[in-house]
């Protein structure tokens, strides 16, 4: 594999499914690892140079941050799915419009968050019962983050576009550079301005990542066009992105809301439990990375193959990708069971805090295997265009299961030492919701209502009656005229060297998909 092909779009509609998934997932896993370093470096440096209270402040700010970023998460998810399906269908015009609308929507979302975020920060912190000792630090962190949110938005959106094109390596390289810069800036800013320096370092690093992502996309002229003219809202395209993406945004908002409700209980338990929650969630962030990665990988893999109408590859990918994800999560579970005290020692030197965090993470450990199943199945459903079903699964597992369970357990575990309940209420309820979420996901996936979205991908473009070489392979397509102006249905006969499957979508107005995907693997069907 050449260096050029490594940093380029990848066709996931050909080759062995598990190989394509792994080729995509490994760089993305490393990228997600680097992304997690942003938060982890913040926690470690703040804990060392400022103290446990400052560590608690950074952790307490995250649920509010996640809630207000839910709108963007929805846009980003919808964008990735539309991009991957358009790329799989070899639809240059559709791909150009999808990417242009992604950028336009990101501009609007950025403006909204920059205005709304600082206005609601202090009221939300007060509503959540944030302790007076850390509330000002929380507010400083959030206000700086919101005012500099443009880098975060555009990096995540543009890197999502790159991943939708199958290029997880470029996104990895840019993120590694930014992560290293973030650590350097953390050490510089935190020493001088404290908690506020954490947010400042993060927004600067993310802005640099965004610039590199845009530079990379601007060079991919062989598969789509990117200029100011294409960065305009087209109601039909933007509507499709939002229809697919909003349920994912709602899912994120639900999870953030549930986190905030539980955070209110956490704050009532005192600063030791707050700090415990912060470091457990930091380790949880790393433990969750393979699950999130395979969920994202399956979404892109499914999207491209749905666009190419290779539905058999979707089913093969579910089995192979699911087994790999579950195997990796089993290894993570074993690490957490036996090495968690060492891991927590990187965040704090307080023995009481390390002991409490160790007991809590061991309660959660087996749950990561359950999450791997949920993430893979959810990724497949989202890639197929069904983002509503995963949304409902999240609503049930978080709002209807986790939150009530946390408060019920807290009520029945009150004691003189823990007047508001024991910490097991926080982490045991999370474990229980993971198990139930997996069970629901398996049942819903098996019923198969999500497949209606996969098979309902409507062809687009004017229909013609002609016989012509297929532009995306050496196969010969035998077109059949229909009287309707929309859509095109082209019957494609596959050649020995691999053409596209029957009923491929095709745009005759754009017959020349220029380039060969930068040296992607030979077509093998």
pLDDT digits (tens, 9 = 90+) for 84-93: 888 888 888 8
**pLDDT attached to residue 8:** 64
Sign of CA dihedral 63, 68, 72, 77: positive
The answer to whether residues 458 and 465 touch, using CB atoms and an 8 Å cutoff, is no
pLDDT more than 70, % of the chain: 84
Tell me the three-class secondary structure of 283-303, residue by residue. Answer: HHHHHHHHHHHHHHHHHHHHH
Sequence-distant (6+) residues with CB within 8 A of 351 are none
**pLDDT attached to residue 374:** 95
pLDDT of 406-447, one tens digit each?
A: 999 999 999 888 898 999 999 999 999 999 999 999 999 999
Name the region of 421 (left: φ>0; alpha: ψ -120 to 50; beta: rest): left
The answer to whether residues 362 and 340 touch, using CB atoms and an 8 Å cutoff, is yes
Instruction: Tell me, yes or no, whether 299 lies in a domain.
Output: yes
Average pLDDT rounded to a whole number, residues 177-182: 84
Q: How far is CA 229 from CA 104, 255, 302, in A?
A: 11, 37, 30
Domain count of the chain?
Answer: 1
Q: Quickly count: other Cβ atoms within 10 Å of residue 363's Cβ.
A: 17
Would you place residue 518 in the very low, low, confident or very high pLDDT band (cuts 50, 70, 90)?
very low
Number of residues in the chain = 525
pLDDT of 481-490, one tens digit each?
A: 233 333 333 3
pLDDT at 467 over 70: no
pLDDT of 504-517, one tens digit each?
A: 333 333 333 333 33
pLDDT of 315-325, one tens digit each?
A: 899 999 999 99
**pLDDT attached to residue 512:** 38
**pLDDT attached to residue 148:** 87
Highest average pLDDT, of 117-121, 326-330, 383-387, comes from 326-330
pLDDT at 162 over 70: yes
What the block records as the tokens of 215 is 């530079």
The answer to whether residues 38 and 307 touch, using CB atoms and an 8 Å cutoff, is no
Give strand pairing partners of 479: 490
**pLDDT attached to residue 393:** 93
The answer to whether residues 214 and 153 touch, using CB atoms and an 8 Å cutoff, is no
Q: Quickly count: other Cβ atoms within 10 Å of residue 418's Cβ.
A: 16
pLDDT at 385 over 90: no
pLDDT at 463 over 80: no
Residue entry with tokens 């002229």? 221
Tell me the three-class secondary structure of 225-267, residue by residue. Answer: CCCHHHCCCCHHHHHHHHHHHHHHHHHHHHHHHHHHHHHHHHH
pLDDT of 243-261, one tens digit each?
A: 888 888 888 788 777 877 8
The answer to whether residues 402 and 262 touch, using CB atoms and an 8 Å cutoff, is yes
Give strand pairing partners of 7: none
Instruction: Tell me, yes or no, whether 39 lies in a domain.
Output: yes
Structural domain containing residue 256: 3-327
Would you place residue 2 in the very low, low, confident or very high pLDDT band (cuts 50, 70, 90)?
low
Instruction: Tell me, yes or no, whether 102 lies in a domain.
Output: yes
Q: Model pTM greater than 0.85?
A: no
Instruction: Tell me, yes or no, whether 200 lies in a domain.
Output: yes
Question: Which of 112, 43, 22, 104 lies closest to 321, judged by CA?
Answer: 22
Residue entry with tokens 């993470």? 361
Residue 14 per-residue DSSP state: S
Question: Helix (H, G, I), strand (E, B), or coil: what is residue 165?
Answer: coil
Question: Which of 283, 284, 263 lies closest to 273, judged by CA?
Answer: 263
Instruction: Tell me, yes or no, whether 346 lies in a domain.
Output: no
pLDDT of 209-249, one tens digit each?
A: 889 988 988 888 888 888 888 888 888 888 888 888 888 88
pLDDT at 189 over 60: yes
Chain mean pLDDT for the chain: 79
Question: Which of 86, 29, 77, 70 lies closest to 379, judged by CA?
Answer: 77
**pLDDT attached to residue 39:** 66
């Amino acid at each position: 594999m050449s260096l050029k092909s490594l940093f380029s779009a990848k066709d996931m509609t050909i080759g062995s499914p598990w190989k394509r998934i792994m080729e995509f997932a490994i760089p993305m896993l490393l990228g997600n690892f680097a992304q997690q370093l942003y938060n982890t470096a913040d926690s470690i440096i703040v804990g060392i140079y400022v103290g446990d209270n400052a560590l608690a402040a950074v952790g307490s700010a995250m649920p509010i941050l996640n809630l207000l970023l839910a709108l963007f998460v929805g846009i980003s998810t919808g964008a990735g799915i539309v991009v991957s399906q358009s790329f799989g269908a070899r639809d240059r015009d559709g791909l150009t419009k999808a990417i242009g609308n992604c950028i336009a929507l990101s501009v609007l979302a950025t403006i909204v968050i920059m205005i709304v975020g600082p206005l609601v920060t202090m009221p939300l912190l007060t509503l959540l019962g944030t302790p007076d000792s850390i509330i000002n630090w929380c507010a400083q962190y959030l206000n700086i983050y919101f005012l500099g949110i443009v880098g975060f938005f555009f990096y995540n959106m543009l890197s999502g576009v790159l991943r939708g094109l199958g290029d997880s390596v470029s996104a990895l390289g840019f993120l590694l550079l930014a992560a290293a810069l973030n650590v350097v800036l953390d050490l510089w800013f935190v020493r001088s301005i404290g908690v506020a320096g954490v947010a400042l370092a993060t927004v600067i690093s993310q802005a640099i990542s965004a610039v590199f992502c845009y530079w990379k996309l601007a060079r991919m002229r062989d598969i789509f066009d990117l200029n100011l003219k294409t960065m305009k809202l087209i109601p039909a395209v933007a509507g499709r992105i939002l229809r697919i993406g909003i349920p994912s945004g709602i899912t994120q908002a639900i999870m953030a809301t549930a986190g905030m409700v539980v955070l209110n209980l956490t704050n009532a338990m005192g600063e030791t439990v707050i700090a415990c929650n912060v470091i457990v969630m930091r380790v949880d962030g790393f433990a969750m990375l393979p699950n999130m990665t395979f969920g994202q990988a399956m979404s892109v893999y499914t999207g491209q193959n749905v666009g190419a109408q290779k539905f058999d590859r979707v089913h093969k990918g579910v089995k192979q990708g699911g087994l790999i994800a579950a195997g990796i999560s089993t290894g993570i579970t074993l690490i957490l069971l036996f090495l968690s005290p060492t891991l927590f020692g990187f965040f704090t030197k307080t023995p009481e805090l390390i002991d409490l965090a160790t007991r809590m993470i061991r309660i959660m450990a087996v749950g990561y295997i359950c999450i791997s199943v949920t993430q893979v199945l959810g990724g497949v459903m989202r890639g197929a265009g069904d983002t509503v079903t995963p949304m409902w699964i999240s609503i049930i597992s978080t709002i209807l299961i986790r939150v009530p369970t946390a408060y019920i357990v807290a009520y029945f575990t009150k004691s003189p030492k823990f007047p508001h309940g024991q910490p097991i209420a926080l982490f045991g309820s999370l474990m229980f919701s993971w198990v139930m979420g997996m069970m629901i996901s398996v049942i819903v996936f098996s019923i198969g209502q999500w497949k209606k979205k996969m098979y309902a991908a409507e062809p687009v473009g004017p229909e013609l009656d002609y016989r012509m070489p297929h532009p995306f392979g050496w196969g010969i397509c035998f077109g059949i005229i229909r009287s309707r102006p929309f859509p095109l249905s082209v019957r494609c006969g596959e050649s020995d060297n691999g053409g596209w499957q029957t009923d491929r979508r095709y745009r005759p107005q754009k017959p020349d998909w220029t380039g060969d995907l930068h040296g992607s693997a030979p077509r093998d069907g």
